[in-house]
Amino acid sequence: MLDLAIIGGGPAGLTAGLYATRGGLKDVVMFEMGMPGGQITGSSEIENYPGQEKVMSGLDLMQSWPEQAMKFGLKHEMKKITSVVKNDDIFTLTSEDGNTFESKAVLLATGSVPRRAGFKGEDEFFGRGISTCATCDGFFYKGKEVAVIGGGDSALEEAVYLSKICSKVYLVHRRDTYRAAPSTIEHMKNTQNIEEVTNVDVEEVYGDMSGVTGLKVKSKIDGAIKDLEVPGVFVFVGRDVLNESIKNDDGSFICDTDKQGQVVVDLKMRTSLPGLYAAGDVRIDAAKQVVCAAGDGATAAVDIIEFLG
């Protein structure tokens, strides 16, 4: 019987494991199929993590986290958890290979992944000029022109954010209307250095060994090709929440979620199901920053220790 099962090995899961084991929990297992560290390990440059003055890669930033957590007793199982069920006060976790594990508490720290737009060059230049995080990477384009792809709240909000850093922001959208809140649309339209490029399809993002140098868009009206020479492209076409493990057979969830499938939590990372916690990008209103996910993990672990006490 485990005290705590952690599903996911990113900043939230690792920090929770560190705090839980150092706080006295004896049997804590982190289930993570790949190398612990999370999505941030794919980032080429990190310069906004507190206490790290030097610019480093995400892989370098996360390198010592698993070792530190495991020093206090966190165990790592390279298994994918496919279902979580609670009967009475015990959770049963089932892995993809059919093994089962029982635990007194569960922390879901599986995160979410940016949805790909599917244009030519997206995979080739992802992390080398194509980004899905303006807060993370916007500063690298200070005083330069960039493009934002998308038409929802996130795209417009990030375009406005980037407009304060960059000399110009092209807002590229396949329609001429937006799926954002009226106040967000108004704010964007009143921002002088945002240029709307609407009713277009992204043909390709191109570049060289140094990274992105531009993107081409095709008009849906007359087929004309427009070339935007920018070193940075930010893609905001939605995110997929990694919540499959907490789904019931009928497609519903074992705890409350919002319309996007993000897990509803309180300030202590508690879900609507006692003993089940969620931290990091899988939860509602997540800032999608490493430092915030780590804070979530610590917050959850502290309350889990009290819950099990």
pLDDT tens-digit profile, the chain (309 residues): 999 999 999 999 999 999 999 999 999 999 999 889 998 887 767 888 999 999 888 899 999 999 999 999 999 999 999 999 999 999 999 999 999 999 999 999 999 988 899 999 999 999 999 999 898 899 999 999 999 999 998 899 999 999 999 999 999 999 999 999 899 999 999 999 999 999 999 999 999 999 999 999 999 999 999 999 999 999 999 889 999 999 999 999 999 999 999 999 999 999 999 999 999 999 999 988 999 999 999 999 999 999 999
Both 172 and 99 in one domain: the answer is no
Whole-angstrom Cα distance, residue 265 to residue 133?
Answer: 23
Indicate whether 86 and 133 sit together in one domain.
no
In a shared domain, residues 258 and 209: no
Task: Tell me which of 173, 205, 235 is where a domain ends.
Answer: 235
Starting at the earlier edge strand, list the strands of the sheet with 145-149.
130-131, 232-235, 145-149, 168-172, 194-197
Of 211, 235, 259, the domain-final residue: 235
> What pLDDT was estimated at residue 55?
86
| Structure confidence at residue 44 (pLDDT) | 67
Q: How far apart are CA 79 and CA 245, in angstroms?
A: 12
Residue 110 shares a structural domain with residue 136: no
Of 235, 251, 269, the position where a domain reaches its end is 235
- Regarding whether 223 and 79 lie in a shared domain, the answer is no
Whether residue 142 sits in one domain with residue 84 = no
Domain with 51 in it: 2-114+239-308
Q: Per the residue annotation, which of 3, 136, 166, 296 is the catalytic one?
A: 136
Q: Residues 181, 36: one domain? A: no
> Is 133 annotated as catalytic?
yes
- Please pick, among 27, 133, 292, 303, the residue that the annotation labels catalytic: 133
Alpha helices, DSSP H, located in the chain: 11-22, 58-62, 65-71, 122-125, 134-137, 153-163, 182-189, 290-308
Are 103 and 126 within one domain? no
| Token output for 138 | 């916007």
201 and 250 in a single domain? The answer is no
Distance CA 264, CA 258 (A): 7
Q: Are residues 219 and 291 in the same domain?
A: no
**Is 82 within 8 Å of 92 (Cβ atoms)?**
no
Distance of alpha carbon 162 from its chain centroid, rounded?
19
Which is catalytic among the residues 3, 88, 137, 250?
Answer: 137
Count up the domains in the chain and report the number. 2
| CATH number, domain with residue 81 | 3.50.50.60
> Is 279 found in the same domain as 301?
yes
Q: Does the annotation count 255 as an active-site position?
A: no
Note whether 255 and 167 are same-domain residues. no
